[in-house]
Every structure is written in structure tokens, then in C-alpha cells.
């Protein structure tokens, strides 16, 4: 008989999520004692949010490790930390809709000026006025993966004209250089790219100078996609409005001047932080691990 694949999980939710996966035995680990004798033969480890340094140290002692499975979508923090012979898979598919929902939420709140009407309510004063709308607006979404696909589906019914931008052109997706050449044609530019050497600092002074006057830049990817000082200058000059869920550095220090720069709205990296999200992430992780246990490559393997 084949022995079950030993999978290390960081919490009891993981034990429960993997209970029904055939050919798998899940054991809970603690980053401080990883690996115990019972855990040394693990082929798979699921990593949580915290203790990345300590988890990396423990992982290095798992001689049979084949798969590191995360519960997140971003994975730049794992570059250089996966032991030789092992691969990384993320939880793509669990978080995209929540993050896309955040993008649409802040965009709509901005164009429909909900802050202005909240201020009128606080003054108990009826004060009408026209606002902008997403209808007939051109929106570029940089990042044609899970979040980008959700954004196209969500924004199109509002009458927005959505263009996905990816590393390579394909059906419904244009390549980044083509977007850059015509970026003045968009009212809204949404960044949902992964952070790589190619994307770090993409939105610098030159990028921002080429956007339409009054364009809205949304960052729901990673803070270092944007050169913070350059964005501050463009926003303070009134040339762009920025809606940011991620920022560089992060967390943004209390009292940092970015907080009070006119034209910049910040939320504290909560794009994916919605009720039920860890249940969704565990369902995706369980699917990846089930594929591994069947001898099939997990669909969410990431090339670091």
C-alpha cells in the first residue's frame, strides 16, 4: 500500500480542510519546533502569514519537501526561500474576487463622491450636485490574471470600457509596451501586477507624466510597483488621483506625509481581507494538494 503524503499545516483549519483529501495525512506544526521527528518526512508544507523567517529555517530541514503551498496570492516574499527540489504554489483563485471588489468599491466611492455626501450628512444639510460615473470611461487593468479577469467582469456592466494588459498580448489582452505607448488614452489605470524585477518601480515619474491629466491610478498589487515619492509629487500637483491599498513602505508609518498628500486615498492592505477568505483559501490549497497527491502538477505552481 502507498503511504499517505505527509502535509504540514499551520493550524486546525488546515487539518479540517485536508481531512477529506485522499492519500493525504495532515499534521499541525509550530514554527518554533519545526520539524519535530514526526514531521521530518513531510513532502508538503502549507505556510501561513506569519513567521516567514522561522518557517524558512524549519523548511530547510525537510529532506523530502516537494511543495510549499501558500494561502495568499502574492508570492514575491518567497523568492530565494524555497529549498532546492521544492516548488511553490499559491492560492490564486481564492483572493482575486475580493481584491477586485475592493478596486471597484474605491473607484465607485471616488467617482460618485461619497465622501462629499458623507460630509453633507455630517452637517445635516441637503446639498445636491452632479458627479462623475464609470459609464463610458476607459479603464486599463495592468495584470491579466485572476484579479484582472474579475475586474473585467465587474466593471463592464457599468458601461466602462475595460482593457486588460499583460506580459504578452493574447485574445482580449494587450502587451505592456503597447499600453505604455497609449496610456494617455485611459481615464483609470489599475495595477494588479505581481512584484518582479520587471515590474518594480513601473509607476515612476515618467510613467505618471504620460497619463491623462486627472487620471485615476489604483494600486491593489504591491506597493513597490509605484515609486512613492514620484506619485506624491504627481498627486500633490493635482495631475493624478491615487487610490492605494498597498504602499511602499508597508505598513505606512503612522504620521508619514503620504497619509496627508492631497489626491491620495489609502486603505491598509485590506483588498483581500474579507469574511470567509481563509475558508476560500483553504479550499484552493486543498485542491492543489489533492493534485499533488494524485501525482498531477498543482495548477497554481509559480515560477519564481
- Gyration radius from the chain CA atoms: 22
Q: Is 115 helix (H, G, I), strand (E, B) or coil?
A: helix
Looking up cell 481581507 gives 273
Residue 250 known to be catalytic? yes
**In this complex, which beta carbon is closest to a second copy, that of residue 61 or of residue 131?**
131
List 142's β-bridge partners, or say none. 165, 191
**In this complex, which beta carbon is closest to a second copy, that of residue 60 or of residue 273?**
273
The reply to whether 101 sits near a second copy by the rule CB under 8 A is: yes
The reply to whether 112 sits near a second copy by the rule CB under 8 A is: yes
Q: Are 219 and 225 in contact (CB under 8 A)?
A: yes
Residue range at the interface with a second copy (CB under 8 A); choices 84-92, 95-103, 218-226, 294-302: 95-103
For residues 268-297, which are near a second copy according to CB under 8 A? 268-270, 273-277
For residues 227-256, which are near a second copy according to CB under 8 A? 251-256
Residue 183 known to be catalytic? no
The reply to whether 126 sits near a second copy by the rule CB under 8 A is: yes
**In this complex, which beta carbon is closest to a second copy, that of residue 59 or of residue 242?**
242
Q: Is 76 helix (H, G, I), strand (E, B) or coil?
A: helix
Looking up cell 492543489 gives 288
DSSP string across 225-241: GB-HHHHHHHHHTTSEE
Q: Are 75 and 304 in contact (CB under 8 A)?
A: yes
Interface residue with a second copy, options 115, 170, 283, 294 (CB under 8 A): 115
Q: Which triple of cell numbers denotes residue 196?
A: 518582479
The reply to whether 92 sits near a second copy by the rule CB under 8 A is: no
Cβ neighbours of 95 (radius 10 Å):
25
Size of the site for a second copy (CB under 8 A): 54
**In this complex, which beta carbon is closest to a second copy, that of residue 41 or of residue 113?**
113
Q: Minimal CA–CA distance to 189: which of 150, 228, 148?
A: 148
Residue 213 known to be catalytic? no
Number of residues assigned to the chain: 304
Residues that bind a second copy (CB under 8 A): 97-98, 101-102, 104-106, 108-109, 112, 114-115, 117-118, 120-121, 124-136, 150, 153-154, 157-159, 251-256, 259-260, 265-270, 273-277
The residues annotated as belonging to the active site are 222, 250, 269
Amino acid at each position: 500500500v502507498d503511504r499517505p503524503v505527509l502535509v504540514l499545516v499551520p493550524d486546525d483549519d488546515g487539518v479540517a480542510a485536508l481531512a477529506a483529501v485522499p492519500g493525504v495525512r495532515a499534521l499541525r506544526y509550530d514554527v518554533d519546533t519545526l520539524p519535530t521527528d514526526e514531521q521530518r518526512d513531510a513532502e508538503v508544507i502549507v505556510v501561513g502569514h506569519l513567521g516567514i523567517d522561522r518557517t524558512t529555517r524549519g523548511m530547510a530541514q525537510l529532506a523530502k519537501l516537494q511543495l510549499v503551498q501558500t494561502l495568499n496570492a502574492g508570492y514575491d516574499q518567497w523568492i530565494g526561500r524555497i529549498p532546492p527540489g521544492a516548488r511553490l504554489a499559491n492560492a490564486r483563485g481564492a483572493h482575486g474576487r475580493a481584491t477586485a471588489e475592493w478596486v471597484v468599491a474605491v473607484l465607485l466611492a471616488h467617482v460618485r463622491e461619497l465622501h462629499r455626501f458623507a460630509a453633507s450628512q455630517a452637517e445635516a444639510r441637503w446639498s445636491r450636485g452632479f458627479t462623475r460615473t464609470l459609464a463610458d470611461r476607459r479603464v486599463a487593468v495592468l495584470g491579466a490574471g485572476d484579479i484582472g479577469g474579475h475586474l473585467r467582469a465587474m466593471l463592464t456592466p457599468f458601461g466602462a470600457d475595460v482593457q486588460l494588459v499583460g506580459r504578452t498580448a493574447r485574445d482580449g489582452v494587450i502587451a505592456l509596451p503597447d499600453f505604455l505607448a497609449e496610456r494617455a488614452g485611459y481615464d483609470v489605470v489599475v495595477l494588479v501586477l505581481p512584484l518582479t524585477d520587471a515590474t518594480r518601480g513601473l509607476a515612476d515619474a515618467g510613467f505618471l507624466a504620460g497619463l491623462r491629466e486627472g487620471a485615476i491610478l489604483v494600486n491593489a498589487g504591491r506597493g513597490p510597483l509605484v515609486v512613492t515619492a514620484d506619485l506624491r509629487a504627481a498627486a500633490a500637483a493635482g495631475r493624478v488621483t491615487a487610490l492605494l491599498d498597498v504602499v511602499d513602505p508597508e505598513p505606512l508609518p503612522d504620521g508619514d506625509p503620504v497619509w496627508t498628500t492631497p489626491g491620495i486615498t489609502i486603505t491598509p492592505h485590506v483588498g483581500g481581507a474579507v469574511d470567509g477568505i481563509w475558508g476560500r483559501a483553504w479550499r484552493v490549497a486543498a485542491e492543489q494538494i489533492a493534485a499533488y497527491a494524485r501525482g498531477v502538477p498543482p495548477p497554481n505552481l509559480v515560477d519564481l
